[in-house]
Structure 1
């Protein structure tokens, strides 16, 4: 007699279910850009979607409650001069979003509560430094106002958004495909066109680890896990889609390397650090695979696949503090369709009890930073602050986001002073004004005389050659032919 052993897991029966159409978003002009970006970013307040616009770049920001059909004239964030490549919400302020564009600029915007009532074209801060398009931006999880950007100029900049300055710069050897912060923000991992995976110290720019990744030529993606491991997705030499789990100290020896299928779409990993769930999806696919990552071989355990009949154009994942914990929702995705429809997909764990499920909802990321930008720049690392969702999520009261730029050295230079006019000079000015007034009257009289002369010359004058014996008298208009 044989027994089939089934691995015990509380996520074995997780299933995805789309919400009703009226609870989703429709009539959105989703961008047609072919860049490998999610094109969508969400938080507990807003959803942002990169849109198609003529003569520049824009993205749409909608409050979550504004569902249904969206008016084509709805105001957008439209300050970029080139197509928007990537967008990312600040993890510590739900009203702040950063955007990267083909115009080489990174801009940070403040969205008012309730959404936009007019087009937004003035950012809070504009980050200038890249020489080519910026295709990737990512916020630091625990440090306040720290933003990473990667551009086509093979450079990675670490910005202090609060002052608008570059803190650190990393010169990458080739085109950057993906970049991700570690859990405590002390390292970053990158994937590259030369097929290598690198781990950097973001403050010094030194390479700590380097190894060949997937053998395929197509882009690779990488994400840092909570336990320090790195999960990568890519292609084999035979164009098979793969995922691999690696240690950051031994990148060339993956713990597991699995082949999924043969398809063209680049697999984009979405990682839930609270319960170690991994979701894999790609543009052009109509399914989402999800896995559980554990400490026991084979480490990455397949759970199930959500199947749809419509391929996705982009994807955004809601932070855990925006999920519906009363209905055991462990994740919520926003799927963009090419038709302009944004579908909301809810993943839930079936439970009979309506009580708070402690095993499904361990402490999750809070909306407050653990350290300041100055502390992080000085070398301090810290794990993100975690909060419990047992009593529900209450947003932390935020002050208005402002940029405190460092004083310009030119402001310290001595300035020329202008003396106030004296009584004598004031009388002289009055005389000049009176003379100007007389000159204007003279000019007007001359203009009237010129107009009168022009009217006189409007009558036709016949030439002597056309009419023999013609005598014209220019002193007594109008001119007539002699009898």
Structure 2
């Protein structure tokens, strides 16, 4: 007599449900960029979606309220970039602050007022300028206040203190484009994937690579995330362009614990992770499904649970933090799925329970919105676990946290300016010869540009004057001919008489 042992898990029966169209956001012109980004970022207050925009790059911010349905075509945007926006990310410690990276090589940090925008926002709180090529990845630190990671097509990773606008760490260990980055649970390690097919674990304070290995043999984009207890989960492609996922230990990256081939689709898979339930959701760009798995300590370690099927392919997707989920309906995850028709579809993942009481086993203490460290403490070498909150009484977003303020440290040009104004007030160190040479070169370039424009202005003025002179001569000839006709006409009339 044969029997099958059923795995014990409270998440075996998780099911997905899409809200009706009138309960979703419609008429959103999702960006047509081919960049491998989710195009959507969500928190309990706002939904942000990268959209098509004429004359630069922009994204739309919609408040999490009852104002769902069709979005007006003239809805205010966040539009200060000169090139298409490639990636956006909400600050985990301030739901009103969002960062954006763009093809114009600039990272901008914005403050969104409570209730959303009433007019298009073009003034950012701070511009972070370092990258020489487009910036396709922005990522906030999980525990330190105002610490932001950016990665560009110049193969550089920069970690910023947004509060001062300065670069804390510059990481130059990738020979090609960085596809993805992820901090571990306490932010003490950084995991990256690169176009050279390798995954790397890096010390984010020093930029030193502590471990690296070949992830997937395929040439298409690979993505990797840190799981809560330190394991590494990756998605990528095989040599035959079959999509794969793998599970690895940080101290033995080159030998995966699990390596599974899924299908032959060509869309990049984004792993979205819930550290409270240890569930990983795989959402492929261009797919019409969301697969979800549970990670456990027992073989086969990655347990397939189910697939949520939709009728149309997805352009992008955003995942709500657990503090934004509805605990009264046993909702353990919520997704905002973008499709080609302009619909932002809301999908809820629910564990079926009969009781209406708070389910403590489904909702352990989760990530809160308070930072455990300051940026200065983190860069000084201090690590701390994220601060957790209970969802027993539900989560209510604070009315408004203090807005992000930037306190810039004095830069080289400030010192030179103050020295020129009053040498007696200048107590700083003397300016180096190299710095003075750079300033002199900059002045020379500006003067050359001014001379060039002045020459162009003179040439255009001469051309206008010449055109006026030719026009005046033509008009005088016409006047002369007209006068002769008038003088002869009386004579002709007299002869005829």
Q: TM-score range by the shorter chain?
A: 0.7 to 0.9
Aligned partner of 1:163 in structure 2 is 164
Cα-to-partner distance string for 1:310-342 (whole Å, 9 max, x where unaligned): 111100000000000000000000000111011
- Which residue of the partner structure matches residue 467 of structure 2? none
Q: Which residue of 2 aligns with 1:450?
A: none
Could you tell me which residue of structure 2 aligns to residue 247 of structure 1? 249
In the alignment, which residue of structure 2 is the partner of 1:402? 405
The correspondence for 2:419, drawn from 413, 424, 434, is 413
- Per the alignment, in what secondary structure is the counterpart of residue 313 of structure 1? strand
Q: Are the aligned partners of 2:44 and 2:397 in contact in 1 as well (CA < 8 Å)?
A: no
C-alpha spacing 1:462/1:330, structure 2 compared with 1 (3 Å): closer
Partner of 1:91: 92
Q: Which residue of 1 aligns with 2:217?
A: 215
Cα deviation for residue 466 of structure 1 reads 6.7
Aligned to 1:368: 370
**Is 1:60 aligned with 2:60?**
yes
Output the TM-score relative to the length of structure 2.
Answer: 0.84
Residue by residue over 1:3-58, the C-alpha shift from the partner in whole angstroms, topping out at 9 and shown as x without a partner, is 11110100011000011111100011111011110000000000000000112100
Q: Which residue of 2 aligns with 1:432?
A: none
2:28 match: 28
Ranges of 4+ aligned residues in structure 1 off by more than 4 Å: 457-471
CA deviation vs aligned residue, 1:328-375 (integer Å, no higher than 9, x gap): 000000000111011000000000000000000001001000000000
Cα distance, 1:415 vs structure 2: 2.6
Q: 2:18 aligned with 1:11, yes or no?
A: no
The verdict on how the C-alpha distance between 1:3 and 1:112 changes in structure 2, with shifts beyond 3 A counting, is same
Q: What's 2:73 paired with?
A: 72
Separation (CA, whole Å) in 2 of partners of 1:466 and 1:301: 102
List per-residue Cα deviations over 1:414-448 (Å, max 9, x = no partner).
537xxxxxxxxxxxxxxxxxxxxxxxxxxxxxxxx
Q: What's the CA shift for 1:412? A: 3.6
SS of residue matched to 2:262: strand
- Please state whether the residue corresponding to 1:250 is helix, strand or coil: coil
- SS of the residue corresponding to residue 383 of structure 2 reads coil
- Would the alpha carbon gap of residues 271 and 458 (structure 1) be closer, same or farther in structure 2, given more than 3 Å must change? same
Q: Corresponding residue for 1:441? A: none
* Partner Cα separation in structure 2 for residue 371 and residue 142 of structure 1: 6
Larger Rg belongs to: 1
Instruction: Spell out the pairing of 1:450-461 with structure 2 (5 A cutoff).
Output: none
Q: Distance in 1 between matches of 2:223 and 2:20?
A: 32
TM-score by length of 1: 0.87
What residue is the counterpart of 1:357 in the other structure? Answer: 359
Number of residue pairs matched? 435
> In the alignment, what sits opposite 2:228?
226
Between 104-113 and 234-243, the greater mean CA deviation after superposition: 234-243
Displacement of 1:465: 7.5
1:51–1:58 Cα contact (<8 Å) kept: yes
**Equivalent position SS for 1:162:** coil
Q: 1:20 to 1:210 in 2, by over 3 A?
A: same
Which structure shows the bigger proportion of residues in helix conformation? 2
Alignment check: 8 A CA contact 1:95 1:112 kept: yes
Q: Could you tell me how far 1:216 is from its partner in structure 2?
A: 0.7
Distance 1:355 1:344 in 2: 25
Pairwise CA distance, 1:409: 2.2
Alignment of 1:116-131 (within 5 A): 116-131=117-132
Partner of 2:268: 266
Q: Which residue of 2 aligns with 1:424?
A: none
What do you get for the CA RMSD once the two structures are aligned?
2.2
Structure 1 residues 5 and 73, CA, compared in 2 at 3 Å: closer, same or farther? same
Task: Give 1:394 shift.
Answer: 3.3
- Cα shift at 1:400: 1.6
Corresponding residue SS for 1:296: coil
Q: Deviations over 1:88-135 (max 9, x none)?
A: 000000000000000000000000000000100000000000000000
Q: CA separation in 2, counterparts of 1:355 and 1:411?
A: 65
The change in CA–CA distance for 1:399 and 1:466 in structure 2 (over 3 A counts) is closer
Residues 258, 300 of structure 2: 8 Å contact kept = yes
Which structure 1 segments of 5+ residues have no match? Answer: 417-456, 472-480
Name the stretch that deviates more: 270-279 or 393-402. Answer: 393-402
Residue 354 of structure 2 aligns to a residue whose secondary structure is: coil
Structure 1: distance between partners of 2:37 and 2:407: 31
Cα distance, 1:392 vs structure 2? 1.3
Question: Offset at 1:461?
Answer: 5.7
Asked whether the 8 Å contact 1:464–1:470 carries over to 2, the reply is no
